Amino acid sequence: MRSVGLWLVCLLLGGLLALPAAAQNQAPAPKKTRILFLLDASGSMQAKWENSQRWDVAKRMLARMADSLDSYANLEIALRAYGHLSPANLKNCKDTKLEVPFAAHNAGNIKKRLQVITPKGNTPITYSLEQSANDFPQDPNARNVIIIITDGLESCGGDPCATSQALQKKRVFLKPFIIGLGDDPGYAQQFGCMGQYYNASDIKTFQQVLDNVISIALKKTTVSVELTDEAGRPVETNVNLTFMNSVTGQPEYNFVHYLDASGKPDMLEIDALLSYNLVVNTLPAVQLKNLNIKPGQHNVFRVKAPQGYLYLRQDAPTGYGSVTALVREKGEQNLLQTQRFPSQQKYLTGTYEVELLTLPRIRKTVTIRQGQATEVSFPPPGSLNITQDLQGYGNLYLLKSDGSQEWIWNLPEGSSKISLPLQPGRYRVVYRVKSAKGSRFTDVKNFSIQSNLTTTIKLFN
């Protein structure tokens, strides 16, 4: 029985130890894609287009597209129309309806509904967009896509751009596709801010655009990021990369950059239906805004990120305990990083101001160079020792070479008895006991501190 029990324990431990390796190689489950066709069925869709009507062309193309999508796995499609419930003279700005809810293999249902819809009303694009937010099932892991097919501009005074941006920020759907039928110069201005706009000025172009949009929505897109040194060589690595959603401001992907054995960065799969800013989390961070990602292709982005090291050296324990340095870019007030002694940290090449939290503080300007370590250290402190246990008010000053004094510390009011580590230098203590009946009873004493030595002073002596 003991051998069986031991075997079970080993089997369990082996399985647990194997989990991290398995997790590293496990591909994420494919997301479900939901495509909502938001179709213009306003009266203008009855206009002639080449040898047909715009509505007949849109209906035929959309039916064919639905058929082609029926075989895709992890895909659901739906149809919402607007401008088909009321005649134009009623100016119904709520004229929109979800004609076919989301479902897999939905082509038959969509084709049936297209046959009974008759264009007649106006163009409430904004209201239709707002209503489309309720069409998508609650599923935080789904890719929600809207393809708007229209031959006219908003006719109800709404703001489709603001509505589209707001719904994207709420993650109701990804960046919409808008296909404008005809050649209206106002399309690009109104629709370009809503999402990805395509101008289908003729029937052949409309077919090509529709095919292209579906391909973009469903094809795999990959990116590689080359982090270059000062000479432009892609040799930097092991840095966190964040792909930020430029609409919501939220991170979509975090990767730690990797170079393979041949020195090439790996390919990362991302969703091309989002807009991104790339943040390379060096110190300080580098950002590429509005990445021009070509969907369905492999994209390569180059980021200049040469780095060196700041090495904070501490040879032996000091009376300070653990010393911290404050690091700022030269000329900047904002703190970039806190770094403890002893340690080594990567920074972008450049000039930095380093403030050591010794007593008094030490400020140094350092230059970080490509692939090199810039060393910062400080002298071993000495110690100030005051043996008297007095209550009062006192200050400690550093005496500079020009004769001026710089405040660095206040003595405790409850007791003047201290043992305080200080950097080598000349100092002054100014003290008045609590019971003294006037400022004239202030005691001023100058003294020096040397490394690894204790200086003892007596007040009022």
Structure tokens at 6: 């031991």
Q: Is 124 exposed, middle or buried (0-12, 13-18, 19+ CB in 10 A)?
A: buried
The owner of tokens 């890719």 is 143
CA dist 106 and 63 (Å) reads: 11
DSSP 88: G
Percent of the chain beyond pLDDT 70? 94
pLDDT of residue 2: 45
- Is there a cis peptide before residue 360, judged by omega within 30 degrees of 0? yes
Tens digit of pLDDT for each residue in 231-270? Answer: 999 999 999 999 999 988 999 999 999 999 999 999 999 9
Q: Which residues contact 39 (CB under 8 A, 6 or more apart)?
A: 58, 62, 79, 80, 81, 82, 149
CA angle centred on 119, ends 117 and 123, rounded to 5° = 120
Q: Residues of 343-369 as b/e, b for ≥16 C-beta within 10 angstroms? A: eebbbbbeebbbbbebbbebeeebebe
Tens digit of pLDDT for each residue in 332-355? Answer: 999 999 999 999 999 999 999 999
Listed residue (99, 57, 108, 55) closest to 78, CA to CA: 99
Tens digit of pLDDT for each residue in 175-217? Answer: 898 998 877 777 777 788 888 888 888 899 999 988 888 888 8
Instruction: Indicate the average pLDDT of the chain.
Output: 90
Tens digit of pLDDT for each residue in 273-328? Answer: 889 999 999 999 999 999 999 888 999 999 999 999 999 998 777 777 789 999 99
CA dist 91 and 157 (Å) reads: 12
pLDDT of residue 29: 64
Tens digit of pLDDT for each residue in 75-120? Answer: 999 999 999 999 989 999 999 999 999 999 999 999 999 999 999 9
Listed residue (143, 124, 118, 294) closest to 223, CA to CA: 294
pLDDT of residue 28: 58
State the helix-helix crossing angle for 203-218 and 54-69, rounded to 10 degrees: 30
The owner of tokens 């094809």 is 219
Instruction: State the DSSP H helix or E strand holding residue 398, giving kind and residue range, or none if neither.
Output: strand 392-399
Instruction: State the DSSP H helix or E strand holding residue 13, giving kind and residue range, or none if neither.
Output: helix 2-25
CA dist 409 and 172 (Å) reads: 56
CA dist 326 and 312 (Å) reads: 11
Tens digit of pLDDT for each residue in 259-274? Answer: 999 999 999 999 988 8
Lowest average pLDDT, out of 17-31, 334-348, 384-398, 412-426, goes to: 17-31
CA dist 417 and 391 (Å) reads: 9
* Beta-strand runs (E) in 122-275: 143-150, 177-181, 196-200, 221-228, 240-245, 251-256, 268-270
Structure tokens at 124: 């409430």
* Whether the predicted pLDDT of 23 surpasses 50: no
**Could you tell me the domains of the chain?**
33-218 (3.40.50.410), 220-304 (2.60.40.3570), 307-376 (2.60.40.1120), 382-457 (2.60.40.180)
Tens digit of pLDDT for each residue in 121-166? Answer: 999 999 999 999 999 999 988 999 999 999 888 889 889 999 999 9
Strands across the sheet with 350-356, in order?
A: 337-340, 324-329, 350-356, 362-368
Checking 57-62 for CB contacts under 8 A at 24+ apart, the result is 57/181, 57/203, 57/206, 58/149, 58/181, 58/206, 59/114, 59/115, 59/117, 61/206, 61/207, 61/210, 62/37, 62/110, 62/114, 62/149, 62/210
